[in-house]
Structure 1
């Protein structure tokens, strides 16, 4: 299945862009057991740096290419723009290419959902063969204070094989005991988002085994596996979601699903807000 591309919505300021400025310097099929690394691509000329964003609209760089499905990058774009971001795509067929300066000035990097039936190792191999791409570009960017948003395949790729940004790893939800969705069809999945039951658009998304003081769990599947979380990596932050909070109404219509896009987009807003807003400082407790 491939989803058609959609025009972007007009941006709606929800305060997230201002919060980020104040603080900042699909989906996949089952992952294969074989985790062998793909050969790294040959060196290429450095990419030109992205144009500076309007100070009121921080720059979000969104991957678009063969490791993402048609429409997934654009759905992420819509979610970002409604939250006040300027969006620029990066990929093998985009004006912005991977290279040492590709994320200069970017407030956020987004790895969207992947194509149905595409294994995690396949998507990772496609990324690694992209001219100019090196995993260290993303790792160093986040470690130095950047933000990473991974949705579905992007959530898988936050683990291993992938960027290895998580204090733990990602795994395939549909194969976990007690999963309410056990196939790779496009469906709704129930999660408890901040304790409230919410159905969300889902297509073979991951769960996350993350732990540590920097892990903020936003949602869990009904079998208690983590469905969405925000964690730290170096001085940066990482947000991941197994379900698709960015899913527009036409995705639901295409698969004859009840349209809960308005609720889902609200959860996407919450995920972004949590990602870009720094956690409160830890308060010491007396013993």
Structure 2
């Protein structure tokens, strides 16, 4: 077909564009044997107990902490009233189980949990991670409790040398890895470890009692804290308290990381 002089440049340009397009598409194809880019991994699952207890906000506060943590977790609630019972099948999908604070009656809460105790212990023993905060720290102990610690718990408030005389909400100083830090506290436990126990004490109270502990349990790990490292600004504002260090969550993130670290 004959082309006029005016149409020849346009046809030549179209041809050149076609060649460039073919080359571009060809360059975008993966070479033979090359691996496809990895898909982003789904965040690990953390289960947070949110059954009957004395604090409606404690479970959600931990859930928000886990979602925002550097490790970044997916969160599901478990326990009576959540629609998801704490069973071996439920635990099998998770990396971390959190027993939050807020309980008022240890014996009453244990009635809701003791049917799940064997499944939880077995899961931790095989590699799961248990995080107990305040009331959840008490429940990591014995009689009643899951019995996950190389030792037991006792109340810090009113104990010999304690700076807290009763169950009031307060801010207290601990020694965290040898450095002074201030933490939110409300009638939390201290931890009495067995002689020679295989455990890391991350923080102590002013009387030397263990305040934050991480210990192995079989192939898994158990992290417990008497104070509340997860307390955000709303906790302090509600009780008219101030933290001299400022409201920071770095201790909570460190405790989570230590609890899920592999042996």
C-alpha deviation, 1:213, in angstroms = 5.2
Identify the residue that residue 55 of structure 1 maps to in structure 2: 41
Q: Residue in 1 aligned with 2:225?
A: 241
Q: Pick from 74, 77, 99: which aligns with 1:89? A: 77
Which one of the candidate residues 190, 209, 218 is aligned to 1:225?
A: 209
> Superposition RMSD on alpha carbons, in Å?
1.7
Q: Distance in 2 between matches of 1:261 and 1:62?
A: 28
Partner of residue 187, structure 2: 204
User: Does 2:255 correspond to 1:271?
Assistant: yes
Does the aligned pair in 2 maintain the 1:200–1:264 contact within 8 Å? no
- Following superposition, the deviation at residue 102 of structure 1 comes to 1.4
Where structure 1 has 5 or more consecutive residues not aligned to the other structure, the ranges are 1-53, 280-287
Structure 1 263/253 Cα, relative in aligned 2: closer, same or farther at 3 Å? Answer: closer
Give the Cα–Cα distance (whole angstroms) in 2 for the partners of residues 166 and 96 of structure 1.
26
Query: 1 or 2, which has the higher helix percentage?
Result: 2
Partner of 1:122: 108
Match of 2:199 in 1: 215
Equivalent of residue 183 in structure 1, options 162, 166, 191: 166
Gaps of 5+ in 2: 1-39
> 1:222/1:271 Cα in 2 relative to 1: closer, same or farther (>3 Å)?
same
* TM-score relative to the length of structure 2: 0.79
Kept after mapping to 2: 8 A contact 1:151/1:244: yes
Please say if residues 253 and 259 of structure 1, whose CA atoms lie closer than 8 Å, have aligned partners that are also in contact. no
Of residues 103-112 and 91-100 in structure 1, the stretch that sits farther from structure 2 once superposed is 91-100
2:120 equivalent to 1:138: yes
Q: Per chain length, whose mean CA-contact separation is higher, i.e. which structure has more relative contact order (CA < 8 Å, sep 6+)?
A: 1
1:36-55 alignment, distance < 5 Å? 55=41
The superposition leaves residues 171-202 of structure 1 with CA deviations (integer Å, 9 ceiling, x where unpaired) of: 10013201001110111111001111111100
Q: Which residue of 1 aligns with 2:175?
A: 192
Per-residue CA deviations over 1:27-79 (Å, capped at 9, x if unaligned) read: xxxxxxxxxxxxxxxxxxxxxxxxxxx83410000000113521110111122
Structure-1 separation of matches of 2:111 and 2:83: 22
| Aligned residue in 2 for 1:153 | 135
Task: Output the TM-score relative to the length of structure 1.
Answer: 0.73
Figure out how many residues of one structure are paired with residues of the other and give that number. Answer: 220
Q: Please say if residues 51 and 81 of structure 2, whose CA atoms lie closer than 8 Å, have aligned partners that are also in contact.
A: yes
Structure 2 SS opposite 1:201: strand
Bigger CA radius of gyration: 2
Aligned to 1:107: 95
Local SS of the residue matching 1:185: coil
Q: Residue 146 of structure 2 corresponds to which residue in structure 1? A: 163
> 1:67·1:124 contact (CA, 8 Å) conserved in 2?
no
